[in-house]
Each structure stands twice: as structure tokens, then as C-alpha cells.
Amino acid sequence: MISEKMYELGAKSSVIREIFEYGKKRKAEIGADNVYDYSLGNPSVPAPESVNEAIRELTLNMNSCDLHGYTSAVGDNGTRQAIADDLNKRFGTSFGMHNFYMTCGAAASLCITFRALAEKDDEIIIFAPYFPEYKVFISSQGATPVEVKCDADTLQIDLDRFEKAITKNTKAVVVNSPNNPSGVVLSEDTVKGMCEILKRKQAEYGKPIFIISDEPYRELVYDGVKVPFLTKYYDNTIVCYSYSKSLSLPGDRIGYILVPDEVADFELIYKAVCGAGRSLGYVCAPSMMQFVIRKCVGQTGDISVYKHNRDLLVNAFNEYGFKVAKPDGAFYLFMKSPEEDAVAFCEKAKKYELLLVPSDSFGFPGYVRLSYCVSTAMIEKSLPSFKALSEEYNLI
């Protein structure tokens, strides 16, 4: 009668969403200020004022039918050229508008790319800890996700494990740096090592193996850390980007897919991306947001707030005896659970009104994720609760 698979996806919400819903209920009971919700990656920094200015300017000066009408299926030419120019300036690349397909954010970019590439029996490698939706997106588009655990100490890619996981069926590997949930930025050594392996394996199997670089956090890095731009290291790289985090526009659903000329069979792949967009109903990304991006390309919200939040939490956790590495990017902390069962730890944290996400659904049990894209005031108010929680575990 209906698709059993789709029913299951709809009926079973994600762990993160469940915690978020619990938080909403709890806030209604005891007041929003008394619940410390670290569950969701919803940016707390406002979009830069230039975004509002662009919207005002567009609604005042642009013909309404043009502003709100369809653009071409792949996106507005001027927007795609503006994005190409910005990346070329920043990374010394030579992209043109023909390399871009505008989308409704990274989720759409990923689904389209998986659909465009995946054939029966194809495997797509994901590195744990991973963004849980990867498994949903990959399997829904007809491929099989294959998990490879990162190095437990550094949370960088374990290159030996990676090499062993590649088979003749490997179509692509998903890379997410800065990472959700760990906040880790892949080092240049790791990137070079991964690309060497991929080049070797492409030669061995006589076929392309793609990197799908999921980059919604590309600009969210602190202390001058550089994020290696993967198209510079490996020809068969397809970039899935979103403005959800860099411009704090998650609800406006805008992003793109970048297929560089260097990708093997560029013409075919780009056409397959267009076909996948068409088949999934992802044509013509929201027009007004495309025009806003044309004006605001290359900008970010005030990310110094995230750095401040990160430092506040990391310093406090060090003092309280929680084990956490200082992440270089995104807005997540990945903390070791003081007991093996991170789900049980999160339940105990709830007693102190702390809402944390156990790492099981990220494919890397024994940790918890905290989204620190929250108000600094909430973090400051929550610290005594973390201290009390650490005392319950005798960490100090």
C-alpha cells in the first residue's frame, strides 16, 4: 500500500530531533531559561546585516515576477558566476558558472549527488563519527553506505582502515571537514594521504572514485586554521555546499553542488546531476535567496561568538575533569562519556537539565555531542550543572 521504507523513516525521528522535542516540552514545564539545550545545530549568530539589506534592496528595486519567479533549473547565471568568482579569488581555482548547480542546501546537494552517481551494488564510504543523515541519503538513492572508523585519538581519517575498506564497488567517499559531530578539521597530511590512496585505487580498479566533500562548515574555523580545499588535491572531487551555517540561513534552504571541469567525464556527471535534481524535484533553488547570495557571497556571520563559546566550554570541561579535545571548527564539541554507555550518561545529564546527544547515532559510541551554537548566557548559566554532573562521576 505504501513504501515500508519511507514509512519507517517518517515514523522514526532522529535521536537529535527526539531530544530537541523533549527540550521543548521541558521548557514549557520549567521555563526556557532553565533548560540547557545543546542538541541542535541551529546557528545562534544572526545572518550578517548585509543579508537583510540585500532582501530589502531586492524587494524594493527588483521586479516582483523576476524576484519570485523560476530561475533556470540549474540556478541563476549571475549567482553561479558570483560564487565561481569568489571561490577563484579565495582558492586560486578557475571555476565558471557552468560548474555549479544551485540547490536547497547541503541535504539536497548530497541527495542529488548520490542519486547522480549511484548504480546498483555501489558502495559509498563514510567516516565515523558521521552526520547520521548520510546513511539515510545514501541508501535512499540506491547505494550502500560503508562505515570506516576514524582514529580514536585524533578523529582524523585512519588511512589503513580506509584503504582496506575500498573495493571494486566503491563509487565515492564522503568527507566532512570541519566535521559534524567532532568539530575536527582534516589536516593537510591526512588529506594528502587519503588522496594518494584514492589515486592508487582508481588505477588498480581502472575507474574513478569520487570524493564528495560536504562543506557546510567550510568557513567556521578558529585561530587561523586552514581547511584544505579538496578540489586542489584531487581531481574527482564534487563539492556539496550550503549557506545554512556560514550565513546562518538554515531555514532559507540555499546551497550548491560544484562539479569542477577536472572531474572525470565532467559533461556526463554534470548532466547526471541535472537529471538527479530533476528526478528528485530539486530544480530552481529558491530564487530570492539565489539573488541574496549573489550579493552576499563570501561573507559570514560573526563567528567570533562560536569561538568564545567553544573556549568557555572547553576550559570549564578541563576544570571539571571531562575529556574533550579542543575542536578547530564547526560548532560542535565531541566529549568522551565518563561511562561507557553514552545514552545512560545523557539520561543522567537530563537530571541537571542538560540536553546532550549520545554519539551512537554518529556511528562512534562512547561520546556525546554538544552544539555550542547557543547563547553565551545559556552556556554560562549551565556551567554549575556540568560541574554537578562531573561530581556525580567523581571526575574532579
The contact set with ligand PLP (CB under 6 A) reads 41, 105-107, 131, 176, 180, 214, 216, 242, 244, 250, 255
User: Which residue, 23 or 250, has its beta carbon nearer to ligand PLP?
Assistant: 250
* In the complex, least distance from residue 298 CB atom to ligand PLP, rounded to whole angstroms: 18
User: Which residue, 216 or 286, has its beta carbon nearer to ligand PLP?
Assistant: 216
Closest to 359 measured CA to CA, from 217, 196, 226, 181: 181
* In the complex, least distance from residue 281 CB atom to ligand PLP, rounded to whole angstroms: 15
Q: Coil, helix or strand for 221?
A: strand
Question: Rounded to whole angstroms, how far apart are CA atoms 202 and 147?
Answer: 20
Residue 379's region, left for phi above 0, alpha for psi from -120 to 50, else beta, is: alpha
* In the complex, least distance from residue 216 CB atom to ligand PLP, rounded to whole angstroms: 5
Question: Rounded to whole angstroms, how far apart are CA atoms 89 and 254?
Answer: 21
User: Which residue, 177 or 236, has its beta carbon nearer to ligand PLP?
Assistant: 177
User: Which residue, 39 or 202, has its beta carbon nearer to ligand PLP?
Assistant: 39
* In the complex, least distance from residue 98 CB atom to ligand PLP, rounded to whole angstroms: 23
Pairing of strands 357-358, 354-355: unpaired
Residue 99's φ and ψ, nearest 5 degrees, are -90, -5
User: Which residue, 291 or 362, has its beta carbon nearer to ligand PLP?
Assistant: 362
User: Which residue, 181 or 338, has its beta carbon nearer to ligand PLP?
Assistant: 181
User: Which residue, 244 or 290, has its beta carbon nearer to ligand PLP?
Assistant: 244
Helices 133-140, 4-11: inter-axial angle, 10-degree rounding: 160
Question: Rounded to whole angstroms, how far apart are CA atoms 118 and 226?
Answer: 31
Q: Which residues pair with 101 in a beta bridge?
A: 257
| Under 8 Å between Cβ of 202 and 68 | no
* In the complex, least distance from residue 217 CB atom to ligand PLP, rounded to whole angstroms: 7
Closest to 133 measured CA to CA, from 145, 122, 121: 145
10 exposed, middle or buried (CB, 10 Å; 0-12, 13-18, 19+)? Answer: exposed
User: Which residue, 184 or 389, has its beta carbon nearer to ligand PLP?
Assistant: 184
* In the complex, least distance from residue 9 CB atom to ligand PLP, rounded to whole angstroms: 16
Angle at 34 between CA 31 and CA 39, to 5 degrees: 105
Strands lying side by side in the sheet with 357-358: 332-336, 367-371, 357-358
Task: Give the CB-side neighbour count of residue 271, counting CA atoms within 13 A.
Answer: 5
* In the complex, least distance from residue 270 CB atom to ligand PLP, rounded to whole angstroms: 21
43's enclosing H/E stretch is none
Question: Rounded to whole angstroms, how far apart are CA atoms 301 and 232?
Answer: 26
* In the complex, least distance from residue 396 CB atom to ligand PLP, rounded to whole angstroms: 33
User: Which residue, 40 or 395, has its beta carbon nearer to ligand PLP?
Assistant: 40
Residue 239's φ and ψ, nearest 5 degrees, are -100, 130
* In the complex, least distance from residue 372 CB atom to ligand PLP, rounded to whole angstroms: 14
